Amino acid sequence: MKALVLLLFPVAALAQLTDADITRNTECGAPAVGQVWSGPRKGTVEHRDGKPGYRVSAEGWWSVGCKMPPPPKDCPAKPAPSWLVDGRLCQPVQGRMLPSRNAPFTHDVKADPKLMNAGIQHWRCTPDGWVSVRATCSGR
């Protein structure tokens, strides 16, 4: 009878997983070891293969409902650069950013009037990233 039991349950399956085996705070959908939260197996530490929408929380419990991270934007956010037109330097307001967007999208950056210059820089978001379309600058 013991031989029959070993054939039905491999030796590796007989090894008990403990709290030390738990892989905490895993990525969504990754295979991991966690503790069952509820149901007849509540408190049992078990391994599960990766499955979309499932993860192990920071506390070590299996949880349902995580989202996959969104795909990256075509144009990541970046600081708006200064620009030069006909020897004139225009600078954007300090801290001005080009926003994170998907193509197609356009954005205008104005020069900082406190620096005694006037101008505008036109940007276009393409699948390859931000592209400066045209710029004007007057003043110092």
Q: Supply the pLDDT for residue 140.
A: 62
Q: Give the model confidence (pLDDT) of 12-40 as tens digits.
A: 454 788 888 999 988 888 999 999 988 88
Domain ranges of the chain: 2-64, 78-139
* Residue bearing the bigger pLDDT, 138 or 133: 133
% residues pLDDT > 70 (the chain): 86
- Torsion angle in degrees (nearest 10) through CA of 69, 70, 75, 78: -40
Q: In whole angstroms, what is the distance from residue 100 CA to residue 78 CA?
A: 8
- 8 Å CB contact between 73 and 44: no
Dump pLDDT digits (tens) for 86-99: 888 899 988 889 99
